[in-house]
Amino acid sequence: MAGQEIHSDYKAMKKATEMAKQFFDIVTVDKASQQTEPSSLVQLVKGCSQAILVGDNVQLRPTVNQTALALDFDISLFERLYTKVKHSKGNGGLRALMLDTQYRIHPKLCEFSSGQFYGGRLESGISSSARPPIRSNFPFPPARVTKQRRDPGTIDYERAIFINCDAKEMPGQKLKENRGQTEVCLHICNSEPAVQNPRARRTQSWS
């Protein structure tokens, strides 16, 4: 393993040395909202004339220590520039573009995220039927059906519920821990057939 790591590091350093003389006119930085500003600047100092920063400023910020946190190092370059464009009259050559359609999660889950974090601007590009309910022992309540979403012959369930747990957080070895929440999660997982017999679930999925 040690030899493999040394070999990998050697190849990476050799490649970095070869690329040191290269310049890039256009740079795309993915997950830019989760990088510290110095980390994002590394890609932009090699002759960049246009940059595309891709991220989500309402998700978790970069993880930094307490000293860096006091110096606002948890604010990414993406968030700083996005906020500047959003609140300034002139764009200064900057443009903020929101990708407002998601294709991953059930539309009901998207409704919650859209209303709570995106001002109702996030929409779904898939229908509810594209994400049917999975077999579960958890007592999800029946979904509240509106006239626009009524589909005769089908039964749907709420896709997200909130469970109140009064247990308090306790200091752990490195991070805080909450045994009460852990017990609730274990109780839910142990009631699910996929957890009790994962091999049977895989067989069912492959058949």
pLDDT at 146: 54
Where do the domains of the chain lie? 1-97, 165-202
Average pLDDT score over residue span 170-192: 85
- Structure confidence at residue 46 as a pLDDT band (50, 70, 90): confident
Instruction: Name the most confidently modeled range: 90-104, 107-121, 137-151, 184-198.
Output: 107-121
Give me 52's structure tokens. 């595309």
pTM here? 0.66
- How far is the C-alpha of 54 from the C-alpha of 35, rounded, in Å? 11
- Structure confidence at residue 204 as a pLDDT band (50, 70, 90): very low
- Structure confidence at residue 154 as a pLDDT band (50, 70, 90): low
pLDDT at 193: 61
Q: Which fold has domain 1-97?
A: Rossmann fold (3.40.50)
Cβ count within 10 A of residue 77 = 21
Whether 82 and 73 have beta carbons less than 8 Å apart is answered as no
Whether 79 and 61 have beta carbons less than 8 Å apart is answered as yes
Mean pLDDT of the chain: 80
For 63-99, the pLDDT digits (tens) are 999 999 999 999 999 999 988 887 666 667 888 889 9
